[in-house]
Amino acid sequence: MTGLIEDHGIIGDLHTAALVDRDGTIDWLCLPRFDSSACFASLLGTAKHGFWRIAPIGAGQADRRWYRGDTLILEHVWDTPNGSVKVIDFMPESTGQHDVVRIVEGLSGRVPMHSELRLRFDYGRSVPWVHRKDGLIVGVAGPDSVALHCEVPTYGRALTTHSDFTIGEGDRISFVLAWGPSHDPPESPVDAFEALDATEKFWNDWAAQCTYDGPYHDAVMRSLITLKALTYQPTGGIVAAPTTSLPEGIGGVRNWDYRYCWLRDSAFTLDALIRSGYVDEARAWRDWLIRAIGGDPGDLQIMYGISGERRLQEYEIDWLPGYEASGPVRVGNAAAEQLQIDVYGEVIDTLARARQHGLPLERHVWALQEKLLQHLEGAWTQPDEGIWEVRGPRRHFVHSKVMAWVAADRAVDALQGDGVSGQPDRWKALRATIMDDVLKHGYDAERNTFTQSYGHPALDAALLQIPIVGFLPPDDPRVVGTVDAVAKELCTDTGLVLRYRTEHDVDGLPGDEGAFLACSFWLVEALHLTGRTERARELFEHLLSLRNDLGLLAEEYDPRIGRMVGNFPQALSHIPLVTAAYLLAELPGPATGHA
């Protein structure tokens, strides 16, 4: 029943998000938050695990679909022998209530339609008690309650709510599914058509704030809207993706829960948003960060829950077989307990960029950065799990050391230009010490390339960050050699970039994975910075062609099967799309450090 990963679109209310297949099926939805249990989980199982489909009777995939302008309102159109029909899907901005609105609109003729709603709470495990109350169809199980309001008759069959109706030209019929705590009476449903107008206005107003004015406007705008959709509005936290356990390799075990806030991904997201004019999002994320990491800097985690939760215990759901039998399905993420030295640099770098874009450096924010730097001063020499969260032995990853250098470098810049007091000589010394160490232990002079980790010859696409963050200037022969080596050894036949070669057994996991899309965008940036702009542009436009028809990207793309893999849509794929678009358009880009 479930389509390809790229067959999906996303709708959301800035608290959670749903995935909608191109056949009109919502097959993934967690309520009331991104990290809540799913009430539709057929994406990771079968139809018995919950879904909601509205489509013409006997029809397959929609003939056409699109987002309505610069919004998160998704529209599907079917052309049938009886006429044409549109289904409009969206979630109004949440004000405490969480609604999924589906409007069926007749375009021509008279089209027989069918709605099939199968609620299954707790990731498809719990069948709700369904009853009628005050004109609503109410499903209750444990703490969750969902109420369906629709304008056509319904009937129950096989623990599923059905509706058969015919839509004529000019007719509009609405369905509203509203979540609430089971101990409260069902909320009155929103007016579907008023909510449609309000939702369209909300997204158009938000999109109008975008300051990007380059040749890739549509791609940048859709990526920014997607990043906004992954923001948890009450706290400012930004999730890496709205899904769990979509596999990095079909049939494999590289399946992870991404419904949390990685400091790294969130920092990159903030950078993409703030450079595009979205200062309010930057301020909200910074405030979330301060709350989440407050306390002992030695306890800094690489990820948190969307409200700053620290305990993200990982466990497996054995009743879900996984997407295309790619098990196990995991909830929680044990990587929260890993040591990843690079996050210190990414957080401090992003706060520096926020200052450059007009967000004031408040005293308590600088005090927190000083505490992080003081801890990093003793921690950067440790081996860690690195940016890719390897589940094998810790290593001295070069990228981790480079980002520790970034932390010290941005501190020096702050003390030179922002009117804050501190110890610039201390951080200059730390910056120099880290650079000397990386150049001595992380560079292979014989091959003219930096390596993935000290004492290991393998390469890593994260090395492409070296010129991007300003560790060395782009025209340094060591940088050019590294970019060329990554392009030669980690690129697939289609020019996409692998994170690293899995056969080198660095991550302690079996199986392969697809090409990592973020790394491919990093290669675009690195090629441009090192003077190969035509190659960079060709790769960038190839990457744009891999987006689905709605402009969305998963975590990875597997060129062997020509499909997207990994969680979807993935923030870390859309962020460097925005960054690369700015760079290729020669618009203001990231600040570089001092070599």
**What is the residue-level pLDDT of the chain in tens, covering all 595 positions?**
578 999 999 999 999 999 999 999 999 999 999 999 999 999 999 999 999 999 999 999 999 999 999 999 999 999 999 999 999 999 999 877 899 999 999 999 999 999 999 999 999 999 999 999 888 999 999 999 999 999 999 999 999 999 999 999 999 999 999 998 999 888 788 999 999 999 999 999 999 999 999 999 999 999 999 999 999 999 999 999 999 999 999 998 889 999 999 988 877 888 888 889 998 888 888 888 888 887 777 778 889 999 999 999 999 999 999 999 999 999 999 988 898 999 999 889 888 888 887 787 777 888 888 999 999 999 999 999 999 888 788 999 999 999 999 999 999 988 886 667 888 999 999 999 999 999 999 999 999 999 999 999 999 999 999 999 999 999 999 999 999 999 999 998 888 999 988 765 665 565 677 899 999 999 999 999 999 999 999 999 999 999 999 999 999 999 999 999 999 999 999 999 999 999 998 754 433 333 2
Q: 196 and 240 share a domain? A: no
**Which neighbouring-strand residues pair with 397?**
453
CA–CA separation, 123 vs 544, rounded Å? Answer: 33
Contacts of 378 (CB under 8 A, 6+ apart): none
DSSP string, 537-587: HHHHHHHHHHS-TTS---SEEETTTTEEESSSS-HHHHHHHHHHHHHHTT-
Contact 1, 53 (CB under 8 A): no
Inside any domain, residue 169: yes
The CATH number given to whatever domain includes residue 261 is 1.50.10.10
Q: 134 and 253 share a domain? A: no
Handedness of CA 21, 27, 32, 35 (dihedral sign): negative
The structure tokens 């295309």 sit at 324
What is the CA angle 424-426-427, rounded to 5?
70
CA–CA separation, 79 vs 85, rounded Å? Answer: 7
Secondary structure (3-state) at 395: strand
Q: 189 and 241 share a domain? A: no
Inside any domain, residue 482: yes
Q: 192 and 288 share a domain? A: no
pLDDT score, position 592: 38
Q: 110 and 259 share a domain? A: no
How many beta carbons lie within 10 A of that of residue 273, not counting itself?
24
- N-term to C-term CA, the chain: 54
Q: Final residue of a domain: which of 206, 233, 253?
A: 206
The structure tokens 């009886």 sit at 82
Q: 159 and 266 share a domain? A: no
Inside any domain, residue 124: yes
Q: Residue ranges of the alpha helices (H) in 442-476?
A: 465-469
Q: Among 2, 33, 3, 1, which Cα is nearest to 18's?
A: 33
Inside any domain, residue 23: yes
CA–CA separation, 147 vs 136, rounded Å? Answer: 6
Look up the pTM and report it: 0.94
- For residue 562, the Cα-to-chain-centroid distance in whole angstroms is 21
Burial class (CB in 10 A: 0-12, 13-18, 19+), 510: exposed
Q: Final residue of a domain: which of 149, 175, 206?
A: 206
The full length of the chain comes to 595
pLDDT score, position 505: 62
Q: How many domains does the chain have?
A: 2
Phi, psi dihedral angles at 170 (to 5 degrees): 85, -10
pLDDT score, position 514: 82
Inside any domain, residue 590: no
Q: 372 and 507 share a domain? A: yes
How many beta carbons lie within 10 A of that of residue 151, not counting itself?
14
Inside any domain, residue 306: yes
Contacts of 462 (CB under 8 A, 6+ apart): 386, 387, 388, 397, 398, 399, 452, 499, 519, 522
pLDDT score, position 591: 38
Inside any domain, residue 417: yes
Q: 123 and 252 share a domain? A: no
pLDDT score, position 546: 97
pLDDT score, position 115: 98
Q: 288 and 386 share a domain? A: yes
Q: Final residue of a domain: which of 190, 206, 222?
A: 206
Q: 269 and 191 share a domain? A: no
Burial class (CB in 10 A: 0-12, 13-18, 19+), 184: exposed
Phi, psi dihedral angles at 294 (to 5 degrees): -55, 145
What single DSSP character describes residue 503? G
pLDDT score, position 46: 96
Q: 107 and 58 share a domain? A: yes
Q: 495 and 347 share a domain? A: yes
pLDDT score, position 364: 80
Radius of gyration of the CA atoms of the chain, in A: 24
pLDDT score, position 501: 84
Contacts of 390 (CB under 8 A, 6+ apart): 506, 507, 508
Q: At what angle do helices 279-293 and 342-356 cross, to 10 degrees?
A: 140
Inside any domain, residue 594: no
Residue-number span of the structural domain to which 174 is assigned: 5-206
Tokens representing 405?
A: 């250098």
